[in-house]
Amino acid sequence: MKAMLLTKHGGPEALRYGDAPDPVAGPGEVVVDIHAASVNGADPKVRRGGGRYQLSQFPHILGRDFSGVVGQVGPGVTDFAVGDAVFGVLDAGNEGAYAEKLAIKAAIIAKKPDRLSHAEAAALGLISLTALTAIEDTARLKAGETILIQGGAGGVAGFAVQLAKHLGATVITTASAGNHAYVRSLGADRVIDYNAEDFTTIGPICDVVFDTVGGDVRAGCYKVLKAGGRLMWIAPAPEGFQVPRSDVATLRPDVKRDRAHLERMLALLAAGAVRPPEITHYKLADAAQAHQISEGRHLRGKLVLEVR
Ligand SMILES: NC(=O)c1ccc[n+]([C@@H]2O[C@H](COP(=O)([O-])OP(=O)(O)OC[C@H]3O[C@@H](n4cnc5c(N)ncnc54)[C@H](OP(=O)(O)O)[C@@H]3O)[C@@H](O)[C@H]2O)c1
């Protein structure tokens, strides 16, 4: 099969379009013929290497979420048949969606409804698992609470804005001016142009802050929390950062891969509570270009690689 191979840690030029062995479905697994895979913020970090993103074996195939069609069913799999359209996210620690095929445990994928294109299903995989785990399972956001979501135009944050609004929260988000109409269309009640306004001037009015931006933004997140508030993060704070308050909780969502969360997302979609993000499409062979956009950290919605 064809795949985008990471040949060594490095810049986008370390990605090479080439041949890789076909996967085989083991017990409990299916092989999926991939139609679309999405680019996640972690992908360029793995490509560059360093820290917890150090790989020991090359070539490596990046990519965590995908949508496609079951091409092979392994022993013991009863819930999928060849030809079923499916989508999902590879188990934590596994990658390989930038390819024409992958093998995956059937238990952690879901059937793709016709209402979603393959690109939309691939785009929604990891962002929906992350936002649902963060907002519903970890922060347990309630109706009537106020949440600040950092970076509302991004993948996870854009889903989180919609989810928080659906749960009945007041949603404040940060975005550059060009993305304000987009985040308002997702349901944000108040949008702060972080280039023109210091978001911390809103004061300590938030029950929950969801930090998807990290870095220097993190310290300010603590200034806008009420006593007893919850700060959830998925993007790292600067090295050596010390949590400045003991009267708030600092939480990191433990994002598992499971069918239940994918189906929760599908139910929200069917109810009209959420919609897929804006998508920019690339050919699989052009993954390096998509990485350059992802690394710039100013994309809107999701970048999706069209595989077939
Ligand atoms: N399980 C996990 O822990 C998990 C899962 C998924 C993602 N992540 C991590 O979460 C982070 C976000 O990933 P993502 O893919 O959702 O986002 P993304 O698409 O990479 O987010 C980029 C967005 O951040 C916004 N942004 C950049 N700087 C900003 C700032 N100073 N203030 C406010 N917004 C800013 C940009 O909007 P503007 O153009 O408007 O600036 C852009 O829309 C990444 O670090 C990723 O690795 C973690």
User: What is the C-alpha separation between 279 and 110, in angstroms, rounded?
Assistant: 21
Tokens matching residue 247: 């009267």
Which pLDDT score, from 0 to 100, does residue 52 have? 87
Instruction: Give the mean pLDDT of 141-167.
Output: 98
Whether 232 shows a pLDDT value over 90: the answer reads yes
Question: CB within 6 Å of ligand 1 — which residues?
Answer: 40-42, 126-127, 130, 150-151, 153-157, 174-176, 179, 194, 212-214, 217, 234-235, 255, 297-300
Mutate which of 197, 251, 299, 300 for ligand 1 pocket (most atoms within 8 A of beta carbon): 299
**How remote is the CA of residue 44 from the centroid of ligand 1, in Å?**
13
**Are residues 257 and 129 in contact, defined by beta-carbon separation less than 8 angstroms?**
yes
Identify the band that residue 8 occupies on the pLDDT scale cut at 50, 70 and 90.
very high
Strands (E), 153-205: 170-175, 190-193
Stretch (H or E) spanning 48: helix 42-48
**Are residues 169 and 143 in contact, defined by beta-carbon separation less than 8 angstroms?**
yes
Angle at 290 between CA 284 and CA 296, to 5 degrees: 165
State how far Cα 215 lies from the chain centre: 18
Mutate which of 192, 210, 212, 291 for ligand 1 pocket (most atoms within 8 A of beta carbon): 212
Nearest alpha-carbon partner for 39 in 59, 14, 60, 64: 64
Tokens matching residue 277: 């993000």
User: What is the C-alpha separation between 258 and 253, in angstroms, rounded?
Assistant: 14
**Are residues 282 and 257 in contact, defined by beta-carbon separation less than 8 angstroms?**
no
Instruction: Give the mean pLDDT of 179-203.
Output: 98
Tokens matching residue 260: 């239940």
Mean pLDDT score of the chain: 97
User: What is the C-alpha separation between 39 and 19, in angstroms, rounded?
Assistant: 20
Mutate which of 254, 297, 300 for ligand 1 pocket (most atoms within 8 A of beta carbon): 297
Identify the band that residue 51 occupies on the pLDDT scale cut at 50, 70 and 90.
confident
**Are residues 111 and 259 in contact, defined by beta-carbon separation less than 8 angstroms?**
no
